Amino acid sequence: MVEYFLVFLGAAIPALELALVIPVGIIRGLSPTWVMIVAFIGNMTTVLIVIYAFQFVQQWMDKRRENSGKTTSKRTERGKRIWNKYGMPGLALCGPVLIGTHIAAFIGLLFGATKTNATVWMTISIALWTLIFGLVTAAGFDFFVRNF
């Protein structure tokens, strides 16, 4: 039971997330099904916190921007071009393997995604990557155990 709690915590921590926690849990001999379920719940919990707490960060950023009088940077403009091309679906689906789910959700909201849109796409993405990491690890681990 403690090991499943550690899977939950690991999936909830932005530096670890699904790509590390699911394979480690399965290789440690835990049930792949339960590892995937617990990791999904752990990761979604903290992503939802990021999504719903974003309004406070946005208020702080708006106030800071008003006080500084700065214009947008070249980086911001480039980010907006990428956002306009791929949007929240692209960011959510690529985010878990490139930048992490928490950062992907934050960036999506930063560029104007609604909370609902971010929640839906991040849920789809986390579920998809949970299945991919879980099934590939379980199949690969089973292959090595039987053949080596």
Kindly report, residue by residue over 114-136, the tens digit of the pLDDT. Answer: 999 999 999 999 999 999 999 99
Which of 4, 63, 77 lies closest to 38, judged by CA?
4
Write the CB contacts of 65 (distance below 8 Å, at least 6 apart in sequence): none
Q: How confident is the model at residue 72 (pLDDT cuts 50, 70, 90)?
A: low
Q: What is the number of structural domains in the chain?
A: 1
Would you state the pLDDT for residue 78? 73
Higher pLDDT, 31 or 145: 31
Whole-prediction pTM: 0.82
| Structural domain boundaries, residue 96 | 2-147
How high does pLDDT run on average in the chain?
88
